[in-house]
Amino acid sequence: MNPFRTTVIALISALSIAGCSSDEAATPKKPREIVLLAYDSFVLSKGVIEGFTERTGIPVNVVTQGDAGELINTTILTKGSPESGVLWGVDSTFLTRAIEEDIFAPYTSKLADDLDPMLRALVPNDEVTPVDRGDVCVNYDRAELARRGVEPPERLQDLTNPKYKGMLAVQS
């Protein structure tokens, strides 16, 4: 499945579930808005939130806050009185901690069978809905490589070639 489509479907599913929650089991009410807490660099394609609001009548307020670690820490600290109804941006580094802290209400998307089985295996009890995986991005200076007479790498594995020795810096 297309990662963008999967992301949009997962977001709409998550927002729909959050929009359906209510303290009154007999007569659920539509919330005045859904608060979506996400990491600072969270960006959606233009029209996604507006399209959701148009279809459901429920406005979405996107609140950004730090990186994935800060999101999880804040959510754990406020789990008795959550700041949002939906959390976006849990990465695999913090997923175990989030699950151990029991900050999510389990939910199984009706499109769960379309998700990558490897990603679903990370959350066997449907604590979260996995939507994508990140790419490793290596930036390079074309002019510098040309000056050295070296072609840019095409795959991560290419960086094991001795011609790139001493040319890559990464975080530890």
pLDDT for res 91: 83
pLDDT for res 90: 87
The answer to whether 136 and 142 are in contact (CB under 8 A) is no
More reliable by pLDDT, 59 or 170: 59
Which helix or strand (DSSP H or E) is residue 3 part of? helix 3-20
The answer to whether 28 and 142 are in contact (CB under 8 A) is no
pLDDT tens digits for 86-104? 999 888 888 899 999 999 9
More reliable by pLDDT, 156 or 14: 156
pLDDT tens digits for 117-149? 888 888 889 999 888 766 667 888 999 999 999
Other Cβ atoms closer than 10 A to 75 = 21
The answer to whether 112 and 129 are in contact (CB under 8 A) is yes
The answer to whether 62 and 34 are in contact (CB under 8 A) is no
DSSP string, 114-139: GS-HHHHTT-TT-SS-----PPP---
CA distance 73 to 130: 19
pLDDT for res 10: 52
* pLDDT surpassing 60 at residue 15: no
pLDDT for res 14: 54
* pLDDT surpassing 90 at residue 151: yes
Report residue 30's pLDDT band, with 50, 70 and 90 as the boundaries: low
pLDDT for res 124: 85
The overall pTM is greater than 0.75 = no
* pLDDT surpassing 90 at residue 62: yes
CB crowding 26-64: b at 16 or more within 10 Å, else e: eeeeeeeebbbbbbeeeebeeebbeebeeebebebebee
* pLDDT surpassing 50 at residue 8: no
